[in-house]
Amino acid sequence: MIDWFQLASEKENKMIQIRRYLHQYPELSFKEHHTHEFILSHLSQLSCDIQAPVGRNGIIATFKGRGDGPTIALRADFDALPIEELADVPYKSKNKGVMHACGHDGHTATLLGVADLIEEHLNCLNGDVVLIFQYGEELMPGGSQEMIDAGCLQNVDRIYGNHLWSGYPTGTIYSRPGPMMASPDEFQITINGRGGHGTKPHETIDPIVILSEFILSTQKLVSRTIDPVKQAVISFGMIQAGAADNVIPDSAVCKGTVRIFDTEVQDHIIEKLEKLLKGLSIANDITYDFEYIKGYLPVNNNANCYEIVKQAANEINLRFNEADLMMVGEDFSHYQKVRPGAFFLTGCGNKQKETDYPHHSPKFNIDEQAMKYATSEFMKILELEDVIHVKKNK
């Protein structure tokens, strides 16, 4: 038997070096040119077939096996966020206003660690391993669909992905069968009324009052028109109107998000929002602009792939837990639309190391020990999928 955790531990220092380098030089979604070249320089030293660019900026590294095992894909993303880093670490971002505030630097370092371990076990490869290094996860429409359109899953049987997660303690693995993460939809609504002086509201059509009425009405949409066993969230994150205290403006704008796990619920919410706006337009003589952008599909784990993730964690003595439903979005879901797959979370939260800040926080950081857990989990998945064929001791 191969002790994947021990072998991953031996790669830990190298993965930390890679992760810290990437952390110092983060790049925004769809602009990850230096990161792209860095990944290529590492992969070029290994015995894999490399395709690049795939889509706009992606990379595929394929390790060919000699047997008749399946082709399994593993995916990591490598873009950063437009956030000014406030974490006091020696490897702090050198790119002003850009930060790896979600752990994608750790995802990439982990998958490069996996690549090194595969290289050292080429004689055990019974199938093919496809490593997908993806750009642009943080910004819709995301990089996954472009890479799929470019053929990254052409010969793949199943796909697995990992996200380092500060909300869970280091040394844990979380996943769940079926729906796991939501579709992160966005909308923008503009109410066009008629402005005027605040002392003569009867001569105006006040868009602020009408927008307020709309926002209050939407709060009944989830609680009174959707089956309580089906989850949905509607939240408003921005309201903007006017510039003076005594002037009623011509228009008012709001932006918000809708999170769902069921596309039928999504269609229902869009229809109801449109009906609310139509009703308000008739009652108040206003016009409106309504823009609704459907986000990534919900992450939906294949039951068999989920069982592989669970078994892998248990066999390498990681603490496995079933994840709660999460209202965050992830474009790994687009791969699952094409091929069976499972997504799992690797805990990287450690209060003593100050790595328990939420994702997208300017103080976000990861417990770097988590990378060896994710690496060993990936390797055990490949073994259980019989891509890496390990001879059993008699």
pLDDT per position as a tens digit, 291-335: 999 999 999 999 999 999 999 999 999 999 999 999 999 999 999
What are the structure tokens assigned to 139, written together? 């910004």
pLDDT per position as a tens digit, 277-289: 999 999 999 999 9
Could you tell me the pLDDT band of residue 257, with boundaries at 50, 70 and 90?
Answer: very high
What are the structure tokens assigned to 364, written together? 């976000």
The predicted pLDDT at position 389 comes to 87
Residues 52 and 173 in one domain: yes
What does the alpha-carbon distance between residue 198 and residue 145 come to, in Å, rounded to a whole number?
Answer: 50
pLDDT per position as a tens digit, 210-229: 999 999 999 999 999 999 99
pLDDT per position as a tens digit, 173-201: 999 999 999 999 999 999 999 999 999 99
Residues 100 and 248 in one domain: no
User: Which amino acid, 99?
Assistant: M
Identify the burial level of 100 via C-beta atoms within 10 angstroms of its C-beta, where 0-12 means exposed, 13-18 middle and 19 or more buried.
Answer: buried
pLDDT per position as a tens digit, 18-43: 999 999 999 999 999 999 999 999 99
Residues 49 and 158 in one domain: yes
Q: Give residue for tokens 């990992």.
A: 162
Specify the number of domains making up the chain: 2
Percent of the chain, pLDDT > 90?
97
Residues 289 and 305 in one domain: no
Residues 246 and 187 in one domain: yes
The stretch 109-134 carries a mean pLDDT of: 97
Residue 392 lies in a domain: no
Residue 142 lies in a domain: yes
Could you tell me the pLDDT band of residue 392, with boundaries at 50, 70 and 90?
Answer: low
What does the alpha-carbon distance between residue 69 and residue 334 come to, in Å, rounded to a whole number?
Answer: 24
The stretch 236-256 carries a mean pLDDT of: 97
Could you tell me if 74 and 47 are in contact, meaning their C-beta atoms sit under 8 angstroms apart? no
Residues 226 and 269 in one domain: yes
The stretch 371-382 carries a mean pLDDT of: 98
Tell me whether strands 71-77 and 128-134 are parallel, antiparallel or unpaired: parallel
Residues labelled as active-site residues: 79, 137
What does the alpha-carbon distance between residue 118 and residue 99 come to, in Å, rounded to a whole number?
Answer: 30
Residues 23 and 105 in one domain: yes
CB within 8 Å of 10: residues ≥ 6 apart: none
Could you tell me if 345 and 180 are in contact, meaning their C-beta atoms sit under 8 angstroms apart? no
The predicted pLDDT at position 1 comes to 80
Residues 371 and 356 in one domain: yes
Range of the domain at 187: 183-293
Residues 124 and 212 in one domain: no
What does the alpha-carbon distance between residue 320 and residue 172 come to, in Å, rounded to a whole number?
Answer: 6
Q: Average model confidence (pLDDT) for the chain?
A: 96
Residue 394 lies in a domain: no
pLDDT per position as a tens digit, 348-358: 999 999 999 99
The predicted pLDDT at position 67 comes to 86
CATH code (residue 17)? 3.40.630.10
Could you tell me the pLDDT band of residue 394, with boundaries at 50, 70 and 90?
Answer: very low
Residues 252 and 367 in one domain: no
